[in-house]
Structure 1
Amino acid sequence: MSAPGSPRKMDEADPRRARVLGLAILPLLLGLLFFAASLTPSLIPRPWLLQGVLAGLVTAIGYAIGQFLNTVWRALELPTLSMPAVRKLSLFLAIPVIGLLVWTLLHAAEWQNSIRLRFEMEPLEAFSTYGIIGVATATFLVSVALGWAAQFLFDRIRRALYRIMPMRTANVLGLALAILIGFVITRDAVIRSGFDLADKSYATAQNLFADAPPAPQDTRFPGSPGSHVDWGAMGQPGRNFVVDGPDAAAISAFTGRAAMNPIRVYVGRAQSESPQVRAELALQELIRLGAFDRKVLIVASPTGTGWLDPGGHEPMEFMHDGDVATVAVQYSYLQSPLALIFETQSGLEQATATMQAIYRHWTTLPPDARPRFYMHGISLGAWSSMYSFNVFSILNDPIDGALWTGPPFPSRLWNQAVVARNPGSPYVLPEVGSGRLVRFASQYGGLERTSGPWGRLRVVYLQHASDAIVFYEPTSVWRAPEWMKEPRAPDVSPAIRFIPVVTQLQLALDMALALGVPGGYGHNYIAEDYIDPWVAVTDPEGWTDDDSTRLKAWCAQEWGQGCRRE
C-alpha cells in the first residue's frame, strides 16, 4: 500500500468527477460555451464547414482549459466536491449552457449575413446547422485524442521526476517540459518540414518552363537579349509583371496625351542565393533600361509568392503618362501568411538589400536630374518595405514617399503611426498630427479629412477595416482589440463582440480567409482603392479629380471586382 501523500496515492484518490462518454462534464460545459461563442461574427464571413472546424477547435480549447484548471486544483491538493454535489452543479450549469448554444445556432446564419451584406455578397440561402455540429464534433474528438496524447506525455514525465524532486515541483516542471516537447515537435519537425517541402515544391513549379512563353526579344524587357536578368529565373509572377503592364499606346488612348512605355524590372528568387547579388542585378538592369532618367522610380516589395498587385501599379503608370520605372526582387515562393511565419528574415533581408543598392545609386545623381523616389508594397511586401525604410540613412537626402497597402499587424512602422494618432481618431483610420507626413485611407476614402499641405516626405497607408491581416491582435486572447472599442467601420458587422480566447481564434481564421472575399474588402485590394492614395503620394502633374473618377471607372471595367490579390 502506498503511503499517504505519495504520487500513487494521489492518483488513486482523484475525486470521481461526473463524466459523459468518458468526458468530464464541467470542462465539457465550458467547451460548449466556447462553441456557442464561436458562432458569433468576426471580420470575414465563414462557410458552415469552416465554422464547424472553428467550433470544434474552440470547444476542445475550452475543454482543455477546464481540464487544466481541474489538474491545477488537484495538484495543489485543494478541497474537492463530493460526487452528488458535482452532479447537481453540472445539471444546474448545463441548462443555461445548452440554452445559449441553441440560441446561437439559431442566429448563426443571421450573423454571417450581417457580414456578407456589408461585403456586397448574396445572403446565405442555407447554413447547415447539422453540418456545423457534425464537423465540430469530429474536430473536437480529434483534438481530444491529441490532448490525451499530451496528457500521457505529461504523466510519464512528471512520474519520472517524482523520483528526484518534490511532487509539486515535478508537476510544474513536467508540464513545462511537455509543452516544450510538443512545441518543438509541432513547429520544427512537422510544420517546418512541411513548409520546407512546400517551398521547394513551389520553387520547382516556378521553374517548369514547358508552358512558359519564350523570352522577349524586345530589349526594353528584362530577360531579353543583353539583359542582366535571367528570364527563366524570374518565375511566373515576375514574367507576368514585366510583360503584362500597359504600353505607351494603351496609356495614350486613355489620357489623350503622348506617353512612354513604362519600365518594369523583376529579379527572381532563383537568380541567386544571395539577396545582395539579386539587388545588384536589379540595379544594373535599371541602369541598362534608363530607369534613372524617368520621372518616377518605385521600389516595390512583392508578397511571399513574388506576386505584385497589377492594380497597385497600372494606375500609377497612367497617371504619369508611362514615365515610371518600377523594380521588385523576389525572396520567397510561399504564400504571404506562411512566409510571414517561416521566412520572415528572407523578406526583410531582400527588401533592405534592394533598397540600399538602389538608394545609394540614386543619391549619386544630381537632385534636379533624378527621378522622384517612392516605395510600395502590399501585405508582406508592405511589411518588408517598411522594414527597409531606414529613416536615419535617408535623413539627409530623403526619398519622396511611400504607399503601403494592407500592412500586416506586426509592422513596427505602422504600429508607431497608429499609436501616434490624434486623440479621438479612429484606430482603423487614424489621423496623425497635421497629416504632413503620414495619412491613412480605406476603400471609403479618408484622405479628404486632412486639408493642410504635405511635407517633404509623403506616406499613405491603405487599409480595410475588415482586413484581419492588418487588424489581428495577438493580445485578443484576453483583451479586446482597440478597434472593437470604437464604432464599427462600414465593412465591419456591428454584431461583433469580444470573447476571450474565442476572438483570438476567430481573427486567426479571418486571416486565413481574408483573400477569399470580393474585391474591396478583407485583404483583397482593388485598383480603384489605390488611385486616390497614389495621387496623394505622387501628385501627378495636371491630374484632376475628374481624371481620378475616369480612371476608377476604367479600372472597374478592366478588372471588375475579383482581381486576385496574392
Structure 2
Amino acid sequence: MSVVSTSRAAVTSSLALPRVATTLALTGGAVTSLAPSLLPRGPVVQGVLTGILVALCWGVATVARRLRSGAPTPHRDARAVALVLAGVALVWSVATANHWQNAVRAAMSAPPIGAGHWAEATAWAGATCLALYAIARGISSAARRLGLLRVVALTIVAGTVLIAGAAPAAADVATQHFRSTSARIDPTLGSGDPQSLVPWSTLGAEGRRFVAGASDPRGVRTYVGLDSAPDTAARARLAVAELDRAGGLHRSHVVIAVPTGSGWIDGEAARGLERRFAGDVAIVGMQYSYAPSWATFVFGRADAEASARALFAAVSDRIAELPAAERPALHVYGQSLGSVGGSAIFGSTADQRARTCSVVWAGPPAGAVRSDGATVLANSSDPVVWWSPALLTQAPDLSTARTDAPVPQWLPVISFVQTGVDLLFALNAPSGHGHRYGDDQGLSMRDCG
C-alpha cells in the first residue's frame, strides 16, 4: 500500500497546477512584453523580451513566496481559475499585439506579421526564460559554494573579457570604413585634403564619412576630430581656421552642426542643408566624444554642451570680425544629443534669436532642449522623443512631434519598459520614422528675420 500511495502522490504532484501567484506573475510578464511598441517588433526581439520579463516576474514571485513561507496554500480550484484567466489574458494580448504590430508596420511600409511570427517569438521566449533560469540556478549554486562576493567578481571579469574581445572587431570595421571612404574626399572644399589644417588621420570614422559625403561641389564641409587638437578650446580654434581656409566664411550661410556622442553628423541633414541653400553654405562640426550618444548623454553630457558653446563662440567671434556686408548668416543644427549640446549654447530664447539666424533640432531627447524659437523635427514613433525617467509616472510631451504612425496609449511603467526596448532599435526604422530623419532636417532651416 505504501508503494501505491507513494506512486499516487508522485502522479498528483506531477499534475499539480502552478500556484496562483506564479501564474499571475508569469502572465503579468508576458502581457507587459506584448504591450504596444513604437516601432515594429521582430520575433527574436519580442521573444527575448517576453522571456526576460517572464523570468524576472517568475523570480520575484519565487522570492516573495519564500518570504511568506507560512502563508496558506490556495485551493486547487483557485489555481485552475487563475490558469484559465491567464490563458484568456494571453490570447487577448497576442491578438491585440498582432493588430497593433500590423498597424505600425502598415504606417512604415513594412510587411505584416502572422502566426509564424508568434510561433518563432514563443520559441525564443521559452529558450530565453529557460536560459535565464539555468543561469540563476548556476549563480545560486556557485554563491553557496564560493560566496556571493567571489561570484560577483567573476561575473565582472567575464564581462570585461567579452567587451575586450569585441573591441578589436569593431576597430577592424572602422579601419575598413576609413579605407573605403578615403577616395571620395573632395580635394579642395573639405577637411582632410592635402591643403587642410586637419589631417585626415585625425578626423575619425564619423568625420571622414561626413566630409566625404558632400552632395554639392559649391558647398563646404569642415570637421575637427577629437584627435585633431589636444583640448576643446584648441579644437574650436582649429575649426575656425579650417573653416576660413576652405572658404566657408565666403558662403552666405554657415551652419554649426553639433554631432551626436560618437561624432556622427547625419548625412541626410547635411545634404538637405546643401539643397536648402543651393550650395551657398558651409557646414562645420567638431567632435567631443567617441562614445555612443546614450552613454554620453548619461555620463558626458557636459562635454557635448561645452564643445558646442566653444565652437559657436569661436565661429561667431570670427564672423563678427568681417565687414558687416560680408558676414554670412549663422545657423545651428543638432540631432539627438547634438540638439542637447546646441540648445545649451543659448541662455534663453531671446539670446538664441539675437545670436543666430535660425536653429533646427531633430529628434531631441524628451525635455532636454529649449524648443521655443526653434524648428523642431520629432517623429511620434521616435523613442528618443518619448524616453525619460518621467515616463515611469507621466505621459510624454508630444506637442512638437508629427504623427507618423499609430501612437500607443501611455501606461505607467509599461510604456517606460517598451520605450526602453525601442531605444535599442530606434535607427532601424525607415527614414521618416523612429529616430531616422531625412533631408527635411536641412530643408526646414528657416530664413533670417
Pair 1:517 & 2:429 matched? yes
Q: CA 1:279–1:205 in structure 2 vs 1: closer, same or farther (change >3 Å)?
A: farther
| Identical positions, percent | 26
1:373-424 deviations in whole A, cap 9, x for unaligned?
111111222222223344499579522221010012262x24xx4xxxxxxx
| Residues 217 and 225, structure 1, Cα contact 8 Å, conserved in 2 | no
Displacement, 1:333?
3.6
What residue in structure 2 maps to residue 112 of structure 1?
Answer: 101
| Residues 215 and 231, structure 1, Cα contact 8 Å, conserved in 2 | no
2-side partners of 1:133 and 1:71: how far apart?
29
What residue in structure 2 maps to residue 40 of structure 1?
Answer: 35
1-side partners of 2:289 and 2:20: how far apart?
47
Give the TM-score, by structure 2 length: 0.81
Displacement, 1:218?
3.4
2-side partners of 1:156 and 1:483: how far apart?
51
What residue in structure 2 maps to residue 465 of structure 1?
Answer: 380
1-side partners of 2:230 and 2:347: how far apart?
24
| Residues 266 and 329, structure 1, Cα contact 8 Å, conserved in 2 | yes
Pair 1:239 & 2:208 matched? yes
| Residues 48 and 125, structure 2, Cα contact 8 Å, conserved in 1 | yes
Pair 1:481 & 2:395 matched? yes
Out of 386, 399, 424, the residue aligned to residue 356 of structure 2 is 399
| Residues 28 and 66, structure 1, Cα contact 8 Å, conserved in 2 | no
Pair 1:31 & 2:26 matched? yes
Q: How does 1:292-311 map to 2 (within 5 A)?
A: 292-311=249-268
SS of the equivalent of 1:128 reads helix
Q: Which amino acid aligns with 2:432?
A: G
Q: Which amino acid aligns with 2:377?
A: L
1-side partners of 2:311 and 2:171: how far apart?
21
SS of the equivalent of 2:203 reads helix
Q: Which amino acid aligns with 1:380?
A: L
Displacement, 1:204?
6.2
What residue in structure 1 maps to residue 288 of structure 2?
Answer: 331
Give the TM-score, by structure 1 length: 0.66
Q: Which amino acid aligns with 1:82?
A: P
1-side partners of 2:387 and 2:315: how far apart?
33
1:45-86 deviations in whole A, cap 9, x for unaligned?
101111101111221232244345446656xxxxx4323x36
Out of 115, 118, 122, the residue aligned to residue 133 of structure 1 is 122
1:150-207 deviations in whole A, cap 9, x for unaligned?
77799999xx9xxxxxxxxxxxxxxxx99xx97x998x87778866876776466545
| Residues 19 and 25, structure 1, Cα contact 8 Å, conserved in 2 | no
Q: How does 1:20-419 map to 2 (within 5 A)?
A: 26-70=21-65, 80-83=70-73, 85=74, 87-124=76-113, 127-147=116-136, 202=170, 205-207=173-175, 210-214=179-183, 218-248=187-217, 261-341=218-298, 343-391=300-348, 398-409=355-366, 411=368, 413-414=369-370, 417=371
Q: Which amino acid aligns with 2:215?
A: P
What residue in structure 2 maps to residue 493 of structure 1?
Answer: 406
2-side partners of 1:100 and 1:491: how far apart?
30
Displacement, 1:293?
3.0
SS of the equivalent of 1:327 reads strand
1-side partners of 2:154 and 2:99: how far apart?
41
What residue in structure 1 maps to residue 9 of structure 2?
Answer: none
2-side partners of 1:192 and 1:364: how far apart?
51
2-side partners of 1:217 and 1:37: how far apart?
51
Displacement, 1:222?
1.9
SS of the equivalent of 1:325 reads strand
Q: CA 1:529–1:317 in structure 2 vs 1: closer, same or farther (change >3 Å)?
A: closer
Q: CA 1:133–1:218 in structure 2 vs 1: closer, same or farther (change >3 Å)?
A: closer
1-side partners of 2:141 and 2:412: how far apart?
28
Displacement, 1:342?
5.4
| Residues 17 and 76, structure 2, Cα contact 8 Å, conserved in 1 | no
Displacement, 1:489?
6.8
| Residues 263 and 326, structure 1, Cα contact 8 Å, conserved in 2 | yes
Q: CA 1:123–1:22 in structure 2 vs 1: closer, same or farther (change >3 Å)?
A: closer
1:252-276 deviations in whole A, cap 9, x for unaligned?
xxxxxxxxx1111011233245233
| Residues 366 and 397, structure 2, Cα contact 8 Å, conserved in 1 | no
Q: Which amino acid aligns with 1:538?
A: D
| Residues 202 and 333, structure 1, Cα contact 8 Å, conserved in 2 | no
Displacement, 1:134?
1.8
| Residues 306 and 332, structure 1, Cα contact 8 Å, conserved in 2 | yes
2-side partners of 1:348 and 1:195: how far apart?
28
Q: How many residues align?
A: 434
Q: CA 1:132–1:125 in structure 2 vs 1: closer, same or farther (change >3 Å)?
A: closer
Q: CA 1:212–1:314 in structure 2 vs 1: closer, same or farther (change >3 Å)?
A: closer
Displacement, 1:299?
0.6
2-side partners of 1:482 and 1:306: how far apart?
28
Displacement, 1:460?
0.9
| Residues 407 and 470, structure 1, Cα contact 8 Å, conserved in 2 | yes
SS of the equivalent of 2:90 reads helix
Q: Which amino acid aligns with 1:493?
A: P
